[in-house]
Amino acid sequence: MPPNDPVLYERLADQWWRPRGPFAMLHWLAAARAALVPPASRPGAVLVDLGCGAGLLAPHLAGKGYRHIGVDLSRTALRQAGEHGVRGVQGDVLAVPLSDGCADVVVAGEILEHVHDLPGAVAQACRLLRPGGLLVLDTLAATALCRWVAVTVAERLPGLAPRGVHDPALLVDRAVLIGECARHGVRLTLRGIRPSMTDLLVWAVGRRASVRMVPVPTTAVLFQGRGRKES
């Protein structure tokens, strides 16, 4: 199977919600991502989750007051997301079938490093945001360090990333990401994160249910981004 093949998500369809399965780290990242999303500022606020997968973000948004709409190519993932309260829209993040300005918050968690057109995906995310709306994302940096840590190493360790999920050629150029966001009126700020090493060791021996993500002084591997669309 070539890297970044969508078939992988079908092969692993029954693994999404296993907290110790091959998508375990996505659970930890979902918690860290949700921490960047404030409670909804108005009744009926909409959060659009691009590349939502099986909806792992949903439990972490509970009580924040959003209508959670998930966009993904995978019907099997969307079906599971639906079981967790996500309204699924089957579609490509490069051509999202939702209207301009429909979202109070757009989330792009672990999706930008899977698309062949980063500017196109950013344009869609920003198009969906209403003026003043919030963009929250996390992804992997296009650096040699990231290729080694996130692809060579992490894809060989259980729970961090399934083998072949990443195509190193698609890792995200941070300057391009920031520039494209700015072009669409979103001033993005980045911060690097990694799993807590203590938590990871305790999790690995089965004595923790999950692992906290902690800030690091570099965005050269895994990073979060956050920015508001100008009003």
d(CA 161, CA 29): 12
Residue 22 sits in the site that holds ligand SAM (CB under 6 A) = no
Select from 88-96, 129-137, 149-157, 178-186 the region that touches ligand SAM (CB under 6 A).
88-96
d(CA 150, CA 129): 30
Select from 92-100, 144-152, 202-210, 217-225 the region that touches ligand SAM (CB under 6 A).
92-100
In DSSP notation, 117-128 reads -HHHHHHHHHHH
Residue 94 sits in the site that holds ligand SAM (CB under 6 A) = yes
Residue 53 sits in the site that holds ligand SAM (CB under 6 A) = yes
Work out which of 25, 48, 77, 171 binds ligand SAM, going by CB under 6 A: 77
Residue 114 sits in the site that holds ligand SAM (CB under 6 A) = yes
d(CA 127, CA 98): 10
d(CA 53, CA 100): 22
d(CA 174, CA 159): 26
Our CB check for ligand SAM shows the closer of 73 and 182 to be: 73
Select from 66-74, 127-135, 149-157, 186-194 the region that touches ligand SAM (CB under 6 A).
66-74
d(CA 196, CA 204): 12
| Residue 137: CB atoms within 10 Å | 27
Q: Which of residues 161-220 bind ligand SAM (CB under 6 A)?
A: none
Q: Which residues bind ligand SAM (CB under 6 A)?
A: 6, 9, 26, 29-30, 51-53, 56, 71-74, 77, 92-94, 109-111, 114-115
